């Protein structure tokens, strides 16, 4: 059985292993013990806090194989980004020039340094270990965050974003960063990526060009990866696109990976999920469900076919073992998605 729950201190070793396996470009999980412990502590505090508006909260969920007690995946939500540490992007825009005397029209793409997503909620840190990527584990990890947000909208912003990892090779070399490194920074991509991951972003404001960059001046390799995702990130992007997330021209400063966005209420897993009461009895059917309780600190979620929904009574019947895993009893509130 695969169960999703909030991260706790005893998950540190598993989190560290995931940080190693996720590789270069996975900025939200730096391979640094102190920072990983800090992320767990912050998540535990966020799940325990009484919150009426989004702030400096960070929620980390783990996917646990209950048969082996192993943590095999992780997913996160940052309630409001850019409030304490600036969140910068490049915005891909177009300047249109026209010469009436020559009857020439010329469109020039530019990259403009900005912090337009300050205060937005960010879904992040989605990673499932390779052995568990078959089936719907990745989909469950991605969508369960939206069920949590649907239950507790006061904790999150109306604008929800996701920064997708851009193109880099097995050694961590990014074609986009290679151009920036040569002309502005003088440090390689893994170093820049690590500094951002540990929260040291001062070098960005010190060295990043403040004026718009003409895309045509970049190397052909750098131009080719603007708005493109790492091959390991493509499945995560497809899941978000199915939820309705769209690319609005914002890309990462370092690898030019796309940032996608949506309004909270327009997320398909939010708008299509249902909230109802629980009845506990033996249940099974051909349909599978993503199901979660409505708790915060004791949040639990899973995928199961041991459930049935009665539309007339607006009741979800769950088998006893599933209800126990989700910390539910008859009459409790539950949120679910039909698959």
Alpha helices in the chain (DSSP H): 12-22, 33-48, 137-151, 175-180, 189-197, 202-207, 220-224, 234-243, 268-271, 320-325
**Please, which residues have CB within 8 angstroms of residue 49's CB and are 6 or more apart in sequence?**
57
Structure tokens at 61: 């969920």
User: Which one of 24, 88, 89, 230 is the catalytic residue?
Assistant: 230
Element (H, E) at 129: none
Is 230 labeled as catalytic in the residue annotation?
Answer: yes
Distance from the Cα of residue 335 to its chain's centroid? 21
| C-alpha–C-alpha distance, residues 301 and 74, integer Å | 13
User: Are the C-beta atoms of 35 and 16 separated by less than 8 Å?
Assistant: no
Distance of alpha carbon 182 from alpha carbon 159, whole angstroms: 35
**List of residues 6+ apart from 320 with CB closer than 8 A:** 280, 281, 282
Residues with active-site annotation: 230
């Amino acid at each position: 059985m695969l169960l999703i729950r909030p991260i706790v201190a005893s998950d540190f070793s598993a989190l560290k292993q995931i940080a190693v396996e996720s590789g270069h470009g996975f900025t939200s999980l730096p391979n640094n013990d102190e920072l990983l412990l800090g992320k767990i502590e912050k998540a535990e505090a966020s799940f325990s806090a009484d919150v009426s508006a989004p702030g400096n909260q960070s929620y980390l969920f783990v996917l646990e194989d209950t048969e082996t007690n192993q943590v095999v995946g992780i997913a996160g939500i940052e309630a409001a980004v850019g409030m304490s540490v600036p969140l910068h992007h490049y915005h891909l825009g177009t300047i249109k020039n026209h010469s009436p005397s020559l009857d020439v029209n010329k469109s020039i793409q530019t990259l403009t340094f900005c912090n337009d997503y300050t205060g937005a909620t960010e879904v992040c840190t989605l990673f499932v270990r390779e052995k568990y990527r078959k089936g719907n584990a990745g989909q469950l990890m991605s969508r369960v965050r939206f069920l949590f947000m649907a239950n507790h909208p006061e904790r999150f912003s109306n604008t929800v974003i996701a920064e997708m990892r851009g193109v880099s090779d097995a050694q961590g070399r990014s074609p986009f960063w290679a151009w920036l490194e040569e002309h502005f920074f003088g440090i390689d991509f893994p170093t820049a990526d690590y500094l951002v991951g540990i929260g040291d972003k001062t070098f960005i404001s010190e060295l990043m060009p403040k004026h718009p960059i003409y895309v045509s001046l970049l190397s052909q390799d750098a131009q080719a990866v603007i708005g493109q995702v790492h091959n390991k990130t493509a499945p995560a992007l497809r899941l978000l696109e199915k939820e309705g997330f769209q690319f609005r021209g914002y890309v990462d400063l370092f690898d030019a990976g796309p940032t996608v966005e949506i309004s909270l209420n327009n997320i398909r897993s939010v708008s299509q999920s249902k909230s109802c009461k629980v009845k506990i009895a033996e249940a099974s059917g051909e349909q599978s469900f993503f199901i979660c309780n409505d708790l915060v600190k004791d949040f639990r979620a899973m995928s199961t076919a041991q459930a049935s929904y009665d539309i007339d009574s607006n009741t979800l019947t769950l088998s006893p073992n599933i209800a126990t895993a989700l910390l539910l009893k008859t009459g409790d509130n539950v949120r679910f998605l039909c698959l």
